[in-house]
């Protein structure tokens, strides 16, 4: 098993903090029925970035801890571990897909990033979150799905572009990749 370096732990902590701020503070949250129905923001970017750059385990840790800390800092309804699981998967899945391509992240094309992030976002944001909202809060798919679909059409290529740009810079400056 590979050891986790202190530098990487510092990066994880930074990404967790960025996730909490972008998700809970710097996003627009629309609630209904005592819970959040739609969130417009870029809180998923640090989680996906961690999964792609540092690996699936790091993405899962950043996603899960970011969700738990965010819930403590700014709760919107009761705590549900279903959403912590989904947040962890948001970092795990793109990391696994990128690993399957077998390339260094600095060499990975924009389109491979779009595929990795797209698979992750379809599973987590478009399928699992509306499913959990239906099961837990009886919120129909027709309420949550349209906004999520439109949001992901924008988020997926934007996340891929930003991660490609950041990965190229990080690989050159501090040798993370």
pLDDT in tens, the chain (177 residues): 567 788 889 999 999 999 999 988 877 766 665 555 666 788 999 999 999 999 999 999 999 999 999 999 988 778 899 999 999 999 999 999 999 988 777 678 899 999 999 999 999 999 999 999 899 888 888 888 887 888 899 899 999 999 999 988 887 777 766
Are 83 and 67 in contact, with CB atoms under 8 Å apart? yes
Q: Give the angle 104-109-111 at the CA atoms, nearest 5°.
A: 135
- Look at residue 39 in the predicted model and tell me its pLDDT: 67
Beta bridge partners of 90: none
- Torsion angles phi and psi, residue 40, rounded to 5: -110, 115
- Look at residue 3 in the predicted model and tell me its pLDDT: 74
- Look at residue 105 in the predicted model and tell me its pLDDT: 76
Rounded-to-integer distance, Cα 170 and Cα 80, Å: 35
Q: What is the pTM of this model?
A: 0.89
What the block records as the tokens of 2 is 């590979």
Q: Which domains does the chain have, with CATH numbers?
A: 6-173 (1.10.1760.20)
Helix ranges (H only) for 21-140 are 44-53, 56-73, 81-101, 110-121, 129-137
């Amino acid at each position: 098993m590979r050891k986790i370096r202190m530098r990487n732990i510092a990066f994880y902590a930074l990404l967790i903090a960025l996730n909490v701020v972008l998700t809970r503070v710097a996003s627009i949250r629309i609630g209904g029925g005592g819970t959040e129905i739609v969130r417009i923001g870029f809180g998923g970017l640090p989680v996906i970035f961690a999964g792609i750059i540092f690996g699936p385990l790091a993405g899962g840790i950043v996603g899960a801890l970011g969700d738990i800390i965010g819930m403590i800092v700014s709760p919107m309804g009761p705590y549900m571990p279903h959403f912590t699981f989904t947040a962890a998967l948001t970092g795990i899945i793109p990391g696994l897909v990128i690993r399957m391509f077998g390339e260094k992240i600095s060499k990975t094309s924009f389109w491979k990033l779009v595929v990795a992030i797209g698979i992750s976002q379809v599973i987590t944001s478009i399928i699992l979150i509306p499913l959990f909202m239906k099961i837990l809060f009886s919120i129909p798919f027709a309420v949550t799905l349209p906004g999520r679909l439109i949001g992901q059409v924008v988020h997926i290529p934007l996340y891929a572009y930003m991660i490609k740009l950041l990965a190229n810079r990080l690989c050159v400056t501090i040798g993370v990749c």
